[in-house]
Chains A and B, each alone.
Chain A
Amino acid sequence: MSQLLFNGLVTGLLVALPALALSLTFSVLRFANFAIGAMLTAGAYLIWLFNTGLGWSMPLAVAGGALASAALAVLADVLVFRPLRGRSGVTLLVASMGLAFVLENTVRLFAGGSSRGYDVAAARPMRWAGLRINQEQLLTLGVTLLALLAVWLILRHTRLGRAMRAVADNPALAAVRGISSTRVVAATWGLAGVLTALAGLLIGLDMGVDPLMGWNYILPVFAAAILGGIGRPLAAVPGALLLGVASEMSTLWLPPHYRAVVAFAVMALCLLFRPAGLFGSPWVTR
């Protein structure tokens, strides 16, 4: 039982990173980015490329991959979303689906469809207080907590974070106050790129890297962001933790391959009874 709780919290933290990225882009740009899963895949493969392809050590490969992923996200914004700015959310949503096809299949075209692994030594799981803890779980715990702390610091205590929150709150007013929305948008995409690459790394360490890895996480990521209250970036974190625990606990009654169904059920219930999310304000309903 406590093992399930612990696994759930770790899975939740893992989902929290892309959910945070999704919420960030949603709150600043006002559209649901369906390319979030493909961005995660691309980030994981970039790190894999630096690590196995170029033989860099893992920390260096992660840093390089995260930067490259951020650059890719900004590039995607310039090429795809900037020309569409001001169009309806649905248009952007469909365009993000197109971007997802492009990213995911570019990976498949060059790296093939089979699963790959990072060049890391396998380690035996540890035992602590009756829990079985994998090396990857510890790493997940450390990396996600650090990343979340960093995002929180950026949002709360830097000029950039203030600018992002201002644009999210009221773009017109932010523009009047001289905040450059171009820079804020680019920073948002860059941040989203780093977060998704880190999530890709952690998922890849746990289960290997394959072209569908991001796609499989789309549903939990959206469910976590909606549960927290989409448009409130940091609320995605408790949403993700709740979802992680719920889907681990569900394995007591359901076969484990139905975790995605649990995510869907949680999302559906949330939309039916509390569409603004647990912590959100109901501005999205109409």
Chain B
Amino acid sequence: MTTYLISLLILVCIAAIAALALNLQWGMTGLVNFGLFSFYMLGAYGCALLVKAGWNPWLALGLSMAATALLSALVSLISVRLSEDYLAIVTLGFAESLKLVVIHEDSWTRGSLGIADIPRPVQGDGAFLLVVALALLAVFLLWQHLTRSPIGRSARALRDDALVAATAGKPVLWLRIRLFSLGGAAIGLAGGLHAFYYQYIDPTQFGTIITAYAFMAVIIGGRGSHVGVLLSAFTVVLLLEGTRYLDDAISWLSSAQLAALRLILVGVALILVLIYRPQGMLRPYQLRADQAARRSVSGRSSAI
């Protein structure tokens, strides 16, 4: 039971990191990333290949995060000057292309055979859970800090109206690229942790379901609210992942059918939340008028 709980928690933490990353890219900045799973896959393969080549696991993780960030920036460059719809299809196209490359370039990636025996940076599932939880905490704190800093304000401004943000002198393109690649780094982190956790990766592990979970967590949690996304990741993804272990209990559905049913539920939930509760569970952070007034009053009194 404890091992089951630990493995479930590790999976949820990894999914939560990916969801937070999407929340930075899409929730805060308005950049739709439908190809999320491919950046995740890139993080996983980068990590696995470097570690297998004899690198230190921590260094491998850092390097593959940097690579994911760089590639995110390049992919977003194709369409950041166009409307959001284009970034969605470009990221999706990149994802499908990258998956084809990983499957077919088997001299690097061993194709569908997969990479086995990936060493972890720490021994034991309990210690690994600690690593994953700390990574999640670090991403969360960094994001919270960013949200309240000038770059977070600019991000929200250009999500709500890029033209106004540009008129106010914000470097729209540069901000978009930076925020998208920062989110990409976090997705790479999640992917790397995935590789370390399973210690075996092959292309079938990486599919749309990863993207779907992240979108669901962000939409249900409330776009732009990091606390909400954490909460929804720990409830919804926990529930959905929990149903994996129902396979034995529900005998009249095969595990493939159960997987299909899980994705149907994800789709229905996405649509229903978008229709009936577009703001999600929690309200995103915004500077409220009374807060701002209080701040400026205290600022003035201290000036006097």
Contacts and interface: CB of A to CB of B under 8 A. Distances in A.
B34 A108 contact: no
20 contacts: A34-B92, A90-B32, A97-B267, A98-B266, A98-B270, A98-B271, A98-B274, A99-B267, A101-B270, A108-B260, A109-B257, A218-B96, A261-B97, A261-B101, A264-B93, A267-B90, A268-B93, A272-B78, A285-B82, A286-B83
A260 B263 CA distance: 24
Of A104, A109, A219, A260, which is in contact with the most chain B CB atoms at under 10 Å from its CB?
A109
A112 interface: yes
A222 interface: yes
A223 B81 CA distance: 18
Interface in A40-94: 80, 83-84, 87, 89-91, 93-94
A268 B96 CA distance: 14
Interface of A: 31-32, 34, 80, 83-84, 87, 89-91, 93-95, 97-102, 104-106, 108-109, 112-113, 218-219, 222-223, 226, 255, 257-258, 260-261, 263-264, 267-268, 271-272, 275, 284-286
B104 A258 contact: yes
A19 to B, nearest CB: 12
A267 B91 CA distance: 11
A285 B34 CA distance: 20
A100 B34 CA distance: 13
A98 B32 contact: no
B268 interface: yes
Contacts of A89: 83-85
B264 A109 contact: yes
Interface of B: 30, 32, 34, 78-79, 81-86, 88-90, 92-94, 96-97, 100-101, 104, 162-163, 208, 212, 215, 219, 256-257, 260-261, 263-264, 266-271, 274-275, 278
Contacts of B88: 32, 34, 90, 93
Q: Looking at chain A's contact residues, is the secondary structure mostly helix, strand, loop, or mixed?
A: helix
Contacts of B208: 101
A219 B96 CA distance: 8
B97 A80 contact: no
Given A90-B32, A101-B267, A260-B100, 20 more contacts: A32-B85, A87-B278, A90-B30, A95-B271, A99-B271, A102-B264, A102-B267, A104-B263, A105-B261, A108-B256, A109-B261, A218-B92, A219-B96, A226-B86, A226-B89, A258-B100, A258-B104, A271-B86, A286-B81, A286-B163
Nearest to A88: B84
The 5 closest A-B pairs by CB, nearest first: A101-B267, A98-B270, A102-B267, A264-B93, A105-B260
Contact of A271 (B82, B92, B269): B82
A97 B270 CA distance: 9
Nearest to A96: B271
A267 B93 contact: yes
Contacts of B85: 31-32, 89-90, 93
A95 B94 contact: no
B215 A97 contact: yes
Given A34-B34, A93-B32, A223 B93 contact: yes
B110 to A, nearest CB: 17
Nearest to B32: A90
Contacts, number: 134
Given A93-B85, A261-B100, A271-B82, A219 B268 contact: no
B89 to A, nearest CB: 5
Contacts of A255: 104
Contacts of A91: 274, 278
A109 B253 CA distance: 9
B82 A284 contact: yes
Contacts of A272: 78
Contacts of B274: 84, 87, 91, 94-95, 98
A98 B212 CA distance: 8
Nearest to B274: A95
Given A94-B215, A219-B93, A260-B96, A102 B82 contact: no
A271 B34 CA distance: 17
A71 B212 CA distance: 27
A94 B86 contact: no
Given A94-B32, A219-B92, A222-B89, A271 B79 contact: yes
